[in-house]
Structures are given as C-alpha cells and as structure tokens.
Amino acid sequence: MRISQIRFNQKMANSLEKFSSQGGEKIANYINAGGKFAIAPLVIMYNPFTKESKENKKWAAIKQPVEAVITIAAQIASLGLLFKGIDKLAAKGKIKFKLVEEAKKTGVFPESVINAVKGDKTKAVDELNKVCLDVFKDRIGTLLTIALYVPILAISNRVFPKVADLLVKDNDND
C-alpha cells in the first residue's frame, strides 16, 4: 500500500470518527438530509414505474433538495442553541443525573467509564457526567427534531414552488 493511500485511509477514519462523535440524532439528521438531497431526486427522475412527464418529475424531484437544505439549516441552528443552553445549565450544576450522584456516593462506576479513564476514579465522575449529558442531549434533540417537523415542512412547501419555477420552465403544475 502506498503512503498516499495510507494517509487517505487515516483521514477517512479520522473523519468518520469525528462524524460519529456528533451524537445519534445529529448523524441521523445528516444522513436523512443527504439522502433527500442526493438520492431521492434521482429515484424520482428515473422511476420507470411512473407515467409522469419529464417536467413533472423534475418539479417533484426539486422538492427533496430544497427540503433537505431547509431541514439541515433549521436543525443545526436549533440543536446548536439547545445544546449550548443545556451545556450552560450543566456547567452551573442545574442539570444532575441520578447515575452520577449514585456513583459519587458509592464509588461504583460502569466498567466502560472506568476503562475510558484508565481506572482514575477522580476522572470517572467527569466522564460519567459527560456520557449522561450526551445521552440527555441526544434524547432532547430527538424531541426537538420531531417538534420541528411540521414548521420545516410548512416552510419548504412555501419555498419549493418558487425554486422549482426558477429551475423548471415548462411544467404542468401551474
């Protein structure tokens, strides 16, 4: 294997690791938006089972990338603000987790946490708190994503016809 290939593989591995550390809900949002942006329009445009005109297919295919862009922009902004607020509350000690409090009292930590901090119990409290905070943010992020579904759909339904009109000259949707 050549050095350039090894460097490329290392960069890909580092990128995937960084991407996966974003948390479950963020990754799901990125993958969903990527599919809507790139794959869904191709499926719509080249669907052999529909008898729609080429212009109608183009019109319908345009909605997916428009919705993907609006979705990702709204979710990045809202999740960023939400997570920043949660981090501030946690830093002030206003968000506490029973698992962390119990571990402080008993000195018993999950094995994965002890392994992550190489047995250092003073670091284990911080690590366990970080893990719990990440799970909490992911769950709250899921609820926010669900709550944003209807407003995002409403915005994309207003924006998409304007974009489609610019990109598709002759359409049957007037």
pLDDT in tens, 20-60: 555 566 677 778 888 888 898 999 989 888 888 888 888 88
Percentage of residues of the chain with pLDDT beyond 90: 21
Q: Quick check: is 14 in a domain?
A: no
If 0-12 CB within 10 Å is exposed, 13-18 middle and 19+ buried, where does residue 103 land?
A: buried
Q: Quick check: is 96 in a domain?
A: yes
53: which 2 tokens? 């005109």
Rg (CA), the chain: 23
Higher pLDDT residue, 79 or 16?
79
66: which 2 tokens? 């428009």
Higher pLDDT residue, 170 or 116?
116
Q: Quick check: is 10 in a domain?
A: no
DSSP alpha helices (H): ranges in 21-108? 24-34, 40-45, 54-91, 98-106
Q: Quick check: is 11 in a domain?
A: no
Q: Contact 171/164 with Cβ under 8 angstroms? A: yes
Q: Is the sign of the CA dihedral 104, 110, 116, 121 positive or negative?
A: positive
Q: Quick check: is 6 in a domain?
A: no
Q: Has residue 171 got a pLDDT over 50?
A: no
Cα–chain-centroid distance for residue 45? 26
Q: Quick check: is 73 in a domain?
A: yes
Query: Which residues contact residue 73 at a Cβ distance below 8 angstroms, ignoring those fewer than 6 apart?
Result: none
Q: Quick check: is 13 in a domain?
A: no
Give CA–CA dist 121/129, Å, rounded: 13
Q: Contact 138/23 with Cβ under 8 angstroms? A: yes
Range of the domain at 58: 23-167
How many domains are contained in the chain?
1
Query: Which residues contact residue 70 at a Cβ distance below 8 angstroms, ignoring those fewer than 6 apart?
Result: 152, 155, 156, 159
Quote the pTM value. 0.66
Q: By mean pLDDT, which of 12-26, 51-65, 79-93, 99-113 is the weakest?
A: 12-26
Q: Quick check: is 146 in a domain?
A: yes
